[in-house]
Structure 1
Amino acid sequence: MNNNNKHRSFFFTAALFNWTVAIIFLFAYQPVFNLIGLSPVPQNPIYLHLFACLVALFGLGYYWVSLDFDKNRNIVYLGIVGKLSVFALPVGYYFAGSISWQLPALTSVDLVFAMLFLNTLRQSPSS
């Protein structure tokens, strides 16, 4: 598989991941909050829905990267910062004693994606 196909598959997978998370935060946040022990479950989900929109928007960016990696490299840099932030914030809350370990564990997927994004950039010099 050549590099373009690898990039296409990898970033399309990243887009699907983000879109799945966005759908969960739009339509199924209550059971997820209960599952990972986050309480109280928000009565007004506006902030979760705004978060879901941003997650979906990042997914659109990853989709664009899957279509043309070289043209959209800067989106990958933005994705690294975004995914590291999504991981670091819950970790900080965990160490402050505000939340249990489940949310940082779930957001470790974002840490993995950030590291893979960085590795992809390092292995693909700009043209």
Structure 2
Amino acid sequence: MKIKYQTATLKIAAIYNLVWGAWVVLFPQQFFELVGMEKINHPMVWQGMGMVIGVYGLGYWWASTDPHRHWPIVMVGFLGKIFGPIGFFFNYFQGKVPFEFIYTLISNDFIWWIPFILILKDVHVKTHWKLS
């Protein structure tokens, strides 16, 4: 039962990341327009972020085929979902980024914390982080 939940979670994460990544690459200013932020001067940097997120989507899809075997992909994704918000808050409290940027963290990071933690907890319990 858990494997089906884990597989479904990772497939949904994969599709989300591929769609979000493509959106950012193809329409790099649209997010900023939607949340009322100033357009960025160098959209290429934001598009690069979209490419990275899209590549995570490929990794999640591959991990979905056997979450216990491919747990390092899930761990790398989870770490990104932790360090991204830390970076946001660090920059926000220094006045370097507007609060509206937090909207990206809701769908890219926060909603995935619990499902990824549950997958990684199951991996730890069943495999003790064994690499196979």
Q: TM-score, normalised by structure 1?
A: 0.85
Q: Aligned residues: percent identity?
A: 21
Q: Structure 1 counterpart of 2:121, which letter?
A: R
Aligned partner letter, 1:55: I
Residues in 1 aligned to 2:36 and 2:83: alpha-carbon distance in whole angstroms: 21
In structure 1, how many angstroms separate the alpha carbons of the residues matched to 2:78 and 2:15? 16
Give distance in 2, aligned partners of 1:11 and 1:87: 20
SS state at 2:29 partner: helix
Q: Which residue of 2 aligns with 1:97?
A: 95
Residue 4 of structure 1: CA displacement?
2.0
Q: In the TM superposition, what whole-angstrom CA distance separates every residue of 1:87-111 from its partner, at most 9, and x where no partner exists?
A: 2222222222222222123303302
Cα distance between partner residues in 2 of 1:62 and 1:93: 28
Q: Which residue of 1 aligns with 2:130?
A: none
Name the structure 2 match of 1:74.
72
Distance 1:18 1:41 in 2: 22
Which runs of 5 or more residues in structure 2 are unaligned?
A: 128-132
Question: Is the contact between residue 14 and residue 59 of structure 2 (CA under 8 Å) also seen in structure 1?
Answer: yes
Does the aligned pair in 2 maintain the 1:87–1:108 contact within 8 Å? no
- Tell me the equivalent position of 1:62: 60
| Structure 1 segments (4+ residues) deviating >3 Å | none
What is the CA distance between 1:82 and its match in structure 2?
A: 1.0
State how 1:13-28 maps to structure 2 within 5 Å.
13-28=12-27
Of the structure 1 ranges 59-68 and 90-99, higher mean CA displacement relative to structure 2 is found in 90-99
How many angstroms apart in 2 are the aligned matches of 1:38 and 1:69?
38
SS in 2 for 1:29: coil
Structure 1: runs of 5+ lacking an equivalent: none
Are residue 30 (structure 1) and residue 46 (structure 2) matched?
no
With structure 2 as the length reference, what TM-score do the two structures score?
Answer: 0.82
Q: Does 1:41 align with 2:17?
A: no
